[in-house]
């Protein structure tokens, strides 16, 4: 009898301790049943469809419901990325596997039963709205999931297939056009709301987070009526869209076009590809369209202030209280501009660029960035880009959220330096730290200070996802942003809260955008 009892205890203890028996390895979701893959106690579900393939007549339409499949789908392989130039794959360390049929997501869960309610983090990749994939090794969600959150990464359409506006498309929808990629993100969030509980996630505790274009998209979702109620917190790394909408090509640092400007660009693109009308453009192959879009980030396609998905100037929407009010964790890197402005800038180059885009405020911008020598001009070009595209939107977002919202704002400044980046942290440098996927240098190993920084950032990010506050036991105190104090958490060799960096330059840019906004009224 004692042997029988001992045997039962052994079997029970093995069942409790075995991750294979305890993890959520399958789930029935919208469309059918999935089987995931368990590795080290985290189960991943890759290549999960969340909308119908946006092909044929569904090209340039809002995502549509998917068709159910039969049997059990083994979710062990990433789906192809959305159509983009193959050169983007080199930047992301992935094979150039792209398709127009690309509306898939991935899930990593630590849950041992579907009844658990873990906080959920939904990742939106960057890439200038021209490139990006969910399956970059940097974005692997396992290490974040080990911190006790469910991680989801969502694909969205890019470039001309994701952000082309045209009068025919606006007429067809009756609600403007050009924001199919953002609508994909919203469809992915609906999928999360409807299905994430089956993976042990809490649909009422969802954090959206993204970097660069993904961070900009997070700010757009924060102002989009279509995303209302789909997330409870927001994290933006080097992103934000608070500049006035762009009406012409020479408005410095204004990226989001008005619907009229975007439709003009769309008509020009139809002419370029030889499409007499929308039907003809939909009949063309995705490869022909992608070739016409061209390589790189400067494709001319960007989310649109269409009056629907993006109702208008996001800065004004915040002033009016018309936004999805949540806690936000937002920040920038110290040397963002070096990725985009690399060398060869002379004082006259910098002056000509500023005078060509900043109108009556050009002199004040030039005065804020010393540029008398070639060395100064290069630094000025890099820093002006960093401040106008990344740091000013972040600072402005924090101010608007603090003044007009109930959710707190936590602001960071990432300045982890290394022998390869002695002048500061370059654009996207924080990603490996956030995901815990830092790759050691060739022939070397990770520095202890980098491992320590990654652990700190993963703790801050997941604490925020769980509670709306990044602080936790043993972590350097991170105060919330306030109108009077404006503290910023410096993530560097000595993590601590300090004043807003580069504030005189941000104030000069603030005056410029205020002038632009006043002229558009």
Q: Phi/psi of residue 199, each to 5°?
A: -110, 10
CA distance 117 to 355: 54
Catalytic position from the list 263, 427, 430, 454: 427
DSSP-based helix, strand, coil % in the chain, nearest 5: 40, 15, 40
CA distance 139 to 153: 8
Cβ-proximal residues to 420 (8 Å cutoff; 6+ apart), any chain? 441
Distances in Å between the alpha carbon of 356 and those of 193, 346, 372? 46, 15, 18
Q: Is 212 a catalytic residue?
A: yes
Whether 79 and 104 have beta carbons less than 8 Å apart is answered as yes
Torsion angle in degrees (nearest 10) through CA of 254, 209, 263, 521: -40
Whether 357 and 252 have beta carbons less than 8 Å apart is answered as yes
Distances in Å between the alpha carbon of 474 and those of 149, 176, 298, 299, 460? 20, 50, 44, 46, 11
CA distance 498 to 491: 10
Q: What is the DSSP letter of 311?
A: -
Q: Would you state the structure tokens that stand for residue 136, as one six-digit string?
A: 């970059």
Q: Is 334 a catalytic residue?
A: no
Q: Which residues on adjacent β-strands are paired with residue 123?
A: 153, 209
Catalytic position from the list 44, 136, 170, 212: 212
Torsion angle in degrees (nearest 10) through CA of 139, 141, 143, 146: 160
Catalytic position from the list 100, 211, 237, 336: 336
- Per DSSP, the residues of 147-211 read TTEEEEEE----HHHHH---HHHHHHHSS--S-HHHHHHHHHHHHHHHHGGGGTEEEEEEEEEEE
| Strand 496-498 to 488-491 pairing | antiparallel
Q: List, by residue number, the catalytic residues.
A: 212, 336, 427
């Amino acid at each position: 009898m004692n042997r029988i009892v001992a045997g039962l205890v052994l079997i029970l203890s093995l069942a409790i301790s075995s991750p294979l028996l305890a993890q959520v390895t399958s789930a029935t979701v919208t469309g059918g049943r999935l089987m995931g893959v368990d590795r080290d106690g985290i189960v991943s579900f890759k290549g999960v469809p969340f909308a119908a393939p946006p092909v044929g007549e569904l090209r340039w339409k809002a995502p549509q419901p998917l068709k159910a499949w039969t049997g059990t789908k083994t979710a062990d392989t990433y789906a192809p990325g959305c159509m983009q130039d193959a050169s983007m794959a080199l930047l992301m360390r992935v094979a150039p596997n792209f398709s127009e049929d690309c509306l898939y997501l991935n899930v990593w869960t630590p849950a041992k039963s579907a009844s658990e309610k873990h906080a959920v983090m939904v990742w939106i990749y960057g890439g200038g709205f021209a490139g990006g994939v969910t399956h970059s090794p940097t974005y692997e969600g396992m290490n974040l999931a080990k911190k006790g959150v469910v991680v989801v990464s969502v694909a969205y359409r890019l470039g001309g297939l994701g952000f082309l506006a045209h009068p025919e498309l606006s007429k067809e929808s009756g609600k403007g056009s050009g924001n199919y990629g953002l609508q994909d993100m919203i469809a992915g969030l609906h999928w999360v709301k409807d299905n994430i509980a089956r993976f042990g996630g809490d649909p009422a505790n969802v954090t959206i987070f993204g970097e660069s274009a993904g961070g900009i998209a997070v700010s757009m979702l924060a102002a989009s009526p279509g995303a209302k109620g789909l997330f409870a917190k927001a994290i933006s790394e080097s992103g934000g869209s608070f500049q006035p909408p762009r009406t012409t090509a020479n408005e410095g640092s204004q990226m989001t076009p008005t619907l009229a400007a975007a439709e003009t660009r769309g008509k020009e693109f139809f002419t370029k590809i030889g499409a007499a009308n929308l039907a003809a453009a939909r009949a063309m192959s995705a490869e022909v369209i992608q070739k016409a879009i061209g390589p790189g980030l400067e494709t001319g396609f960007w989310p649109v202030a269409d009056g629907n998905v993006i109702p208008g100037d996001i800065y004004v929407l915040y002033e009016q209280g018309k936004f999805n009010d949540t806690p936000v964790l937002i920040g920038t890197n110290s040397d963002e501009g070096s990725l985009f402005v690399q060398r060869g800038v002379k004082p006259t180059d910098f002056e000509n660029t500023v005078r060509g885009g900043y109108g009556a405020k050009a002199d004040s911008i030039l005065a804020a960035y010393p540029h008398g020598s070639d060395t100064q001009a290069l630094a000025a070009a890099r820093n002006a880009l960093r401040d106008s595209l990344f740091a000013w939107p972040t600072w402005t977002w924090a101010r608007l959220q603090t003044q007009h919202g109930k959710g707190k704002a936590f602001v960071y400044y990432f300045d982890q330096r290394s022998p390869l980046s002695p002048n500061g942290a370059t654009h996207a440098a924080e990603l490996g730290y956030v995901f815990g996927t830092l790759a050691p240098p060739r022939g070397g190993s990770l520095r202890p200070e980098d491992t320590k920084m990654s652990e700190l950032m993963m703790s801050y990010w997941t604490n925020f996802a769980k509670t709306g506050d990044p602080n936790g036991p043993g972590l350097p105190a991170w105060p919330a942003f306030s109108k009077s104090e404006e503290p910023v958490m410096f993530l560097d060799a000595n993590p601590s809260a300090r004043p807003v960096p580069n504030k005189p330059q941000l104030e000069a840019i603030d005056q410029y955008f205020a002038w632009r906004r006043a002229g558009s009224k």
